Amino acid sequence: MEIFLHTGDERSALGDQYRAAFAEAVELYVLSAYLTEWDAELALSPTCKRFRFIIGKDFGITRKDTCREVLQWLPADRQSDFLVAEEISGFHPKAVIWRTAKGRTFMLIGSSNLSRAAVDGNVEANVMLEVSVQQFEEACTWIDRIEAKSAPVGDGWLDRYVEAARQPKGGSAKRKPVNKDGGADISFKLPRPAGAAALLRTRRAVLKTYAEGRHALLQLFQRAAAKQITSQRFFTELPEHWSQEVGNRMQGKGWDRLGKQANFQDLARSFVAIVESPKRDRDDVVRAELDRLDARENPARKAFLSEMLCLRFPDEYPVLNKPVRQFLRKNRFTPTRGSSEGDWYIYVARQLRAALRANPAYPAKNLAELDTLIWASAEYNPRD
């Protein structure tokens, strides 16, 4: 165990430990009650497989310009890993928790928020200790619960977030929060089209039919992923397991013409990897596989694969379609510009999950059901 006691009149070793944690971690979690400054010299290891940075928004203390610095610092495929504890009032942890490639697990906790002042200017007390794998997993479970009540920090969120006025340098006036719970009203206005009950009954029937036959459909994907069948054979057999005639298809047939020539063996490999991934890792695997398919320009990676994900995991993933994009733009919840394709999808998924959590009385109970109500209410122009 190491103890970092800083009186504010000398450079602290704490900053060096922060930098070491970011450089060596293959799994890294940062939780900071407020974000007022950012050290862009921190370097996230390219071997880091899982990263979450969760901040609080209470009293509007977190600064917009600092959040934008973090978004500029993050790689394009990590933008949606920068989260705000949107549904938590009183979010106050200050912790860095990580695992190294050698399997060693650490926690750095104390009074410091992640800022230059906390590292080199303030009077702070922190402790770093190596923990057991069991203790690390307990911490990860705790973070999972926090993540489930968080939303991505992106351009849209920052446009609507209201920060408190800055205090004059050296001033001692009491802070006047814009809102005790922080920021502004940033909830979605979810669509309520006419005939919603009938639309939902139809969509639920589709999900039920899919669930009844999903094992056979997965076997088709597994055969293609193992190269036991060709991409053409996959495409030929697909309507036997997924089609409007079978009754388990959500979208129209426009994709069939555009995606017919896709490499379905490669796409099936991605889908099987996602299905077999643990729930905690699923968002990261989805993002990585979508980015991999994007790099290979696989034409089935959007409409087709996203529907497969939505059918398999209706609580977690949306269908990638223009009405959903339109809905996000209308509500000013667009992802950060420059995000990778996979990260854009995870951003959208997390925002829509948050929208449903914030509206427990809403008639749609998962993203597959929300999709049909968005479609029915969209001012949809196919050329958009």
Rounded Cα distance between 82 and 315, Å, is: 21
Q: Say which residues have a Cβ less than 8 Å from residue 276's Cβ, sequence separation at least 6.
A: none
> 254-299, pLDDT tens digit by residue?
677 667 789 999 999 999 999 999 999 999 999 999 999 999 999 9
Comparing 226 with 5, the larger pLDDT belongs to 226
Q: Is 55 helix (H, G, I), strand (E, B) or coil?
A: strand
Least confident of 4-18, 90-104, 207-221: 4-18
Average pLDDT, the chain: 86
Please, is 132 exposed, middle or buried when counting C-beta atoms within 10 Å of its C-beta (0-12, 13-18, 19+)?
exposed
Give the β-pairing of 82-84 and 50-55. Answer: parallel
Residue 367: per-residue pLDDT: 97
Q: How many residues does the chain have?
A: 384
Residue 4: per-residue pLDDT: 46
Confidence of residue 5 (pLDDT cuts 50, 70, 90): very low
The C-alpha R_g of the chain, in whole angstroms, comes to: 23
Q: Say which residues have a Cβ less than 8 Å from residue 312's Cβ, sequence separation at least 6.
A: 214, 275
- Containing 119, the helix (H) or strand (E) segment is helix 116-120
Residue 185: per-residue pLDDT: 46
Rounded Cα distance between 183 and 381, Å, is: 34
Rounded Cα distance between 112 and 98, Å, is: 17
> 11-62, pLDDT tens digit by residue?
556 777 888 899 999 999 999 998 998 888 888 999 999 999 999 999 999 9
What residues form DSSP beta bridges with 28? 51, 98
Residue 55: per-residue pLDDT: 95
Q: Is 354 helix (H, G, I), strand (E, B) or coil?
A: helix
Residue 39: per-residue pLDDT: 83
Confidence of residue 360 (pLDDT cuts 50, 70, 90): very high
Q: Sign (positive/negative) of CA torsion 326, 329, 331, 335?
A: positive
Query: Does the structure show a pLDDT above 70 at 183?
Result: no
Comparing 380 with 63, the larger pLDDT belongs to 63
Confidence of residue 184 (pLDDT cuts 50, 70, 90): very low
Confidence of residue 383 (pLDDT cuts 50, 70, 90): very low
Distances from the Cα of 384 to the Cαs of 229, 323, 326, 334, in angstroms?
37, 9, 9, 16
Q: Is 126 helix (H, G, I), strand (E, B) or coil?
A: strand
Rounded average pLDDT over 101-123: 74
Rounded Cα distance between 211 and 215, Å, is: 8
Rounded average pLDDT over 309-332: 89
